[in-house]
Chains A and B, each alone.
Chain A
Amino acid sequence: MPIKCKTECGRNAVLKRPKTSDALCKECFFAAFEAEIHYTIITNKLFTKGEKVAVAASGGKDSTVLAYVLKLLNDRHDYGLQLILLSIDEGITGYRDDSLETVKKNRDDYQIPLKILSYDELYGWTMDRIVGQIGRSNNCTFCGVFRRQALDRGAKQLEVDSIATGHNADDIAETVLMNILRGDTARLRRCTDIRTGGGENTIPRVKPLKYTYEKEIVMYAHFKKLVYFSTECVFAPNAYRGHARAYLKDLERVRPSVIMDIIHSGEQLLFKDTVKKPVRGICERCGFVSSQQPCKACILLEGLNRGLPKLGIGKKSKGDRMRLKQDKELALRERANLVKNDF
Chain B
Amino acid sequence: MCSIGDDDVLDDGISSLMTPQKQMLHYLPKGTCYKCGQDRELYKIHFREAECKNCFLIFVNHKFRATVGSSKALPRNADILLVFDGSAESVVLLDMLQTAQSESNFKRLHCYLKVLFLDDYEAYKDTCGINDYKLYIQQVKDLLLSYDNIKCYVTNLRSGIHQKPFDIKDMNLYLNREMEKEKVFSNDINNIQTSTSRNEFIKLYRKNLIASMATILSCKYAFIPTINISIATDLLSAIALGQGNNVACDVAFKDDRLVNGIKIMRPIKNLTETEVLLYIRARNIKWCDRRDHVINASSSIQRITELFIRNLQKNYSSTVSTIICTGNKITSNNDSYEEFEEKCCLCNSSIVNSETLSAVRYSRYVSERMSSDFDLDINFKKFLNLTQNQDQKVCHSCQNIGRDSDINLIKHYL
Contacts and interface: CB of A to CB of B under 8 A. Distances in A.
A7 B359 contact: no
Interface string A249-279: 1110111011011111111111110010000
Interface in B180-230: 194, 196
Given A250-B308, A265-B243, A7 B369 contact: yes
A120 interface: no
Interface string B289-319: 0000000011111001100100010000001
B358 A43 contact: yes
Interface string A140-183: 00000000000000000000000000000000000011011111
Task: Provide the main secondary structure of the chain B interface.
Answer: helix
11 contacts: A20-B364, A39-B359, A183-B323, A250-B298, A251-B301, A261-B241, A264-B244, A265-B247, A266-B244, A271-B329, A272-B329
A264 B396 contact: yes
Task: Provide the main secondary structure of the chain A interface.
Answer: helix
B386 interface: no
A8 interface: yes
Given A194-B355, A271-B329, 13 more contacts: A17-B367, A35-B371, A36-B363, A180-B236, A183-B323, A211-B360, A249-B1, A250-B304, A251-B301, A260-B357, A261-B397, A268-B244, A270-B330
Interface string B340-364: 0000000000001011111110111
Interface size class of A (residues with CB under 8 A): 35 or more
A31 B301 contact: no
A36 B247 CA distance: 29
A24 interface: yes
A268 B354 contact: yes
Contacts of A182: 322
Contacts of A35: 362, 366, 371, 374
A246 B243 contact: no
Given A176-B239, A265-B239, A36 B362 contact: yes
A44 interface: yes
Counting from the closest, the 10 A-B pairs by CB-CB distance are: A265-B244, A261-B242, A31-B371, A246-B2, A268-B244, A268-B245, A211-B359, A22-B367, A32-B366, A264-B356
A265 to B, nearest CB: 3
A265 B238 contact: yes
A243 B312 contact: yes
A262 B376 CA distance: 25
Given A32-B366, A254-B300, A269-B247, A185 B240 contact: no
Interface string A2-19: 000011110000000101
Contacts of A43: 355, 358
A29 B248 CA distance: 39
Nearest to B324: A183
Given A19-B363, A180-B326, A272-B329, A254 B239 contact: no
A307 B261 CA distance: 63
B333 A268 contact: yes
Contact of A183 (B2, B322, B363): B322
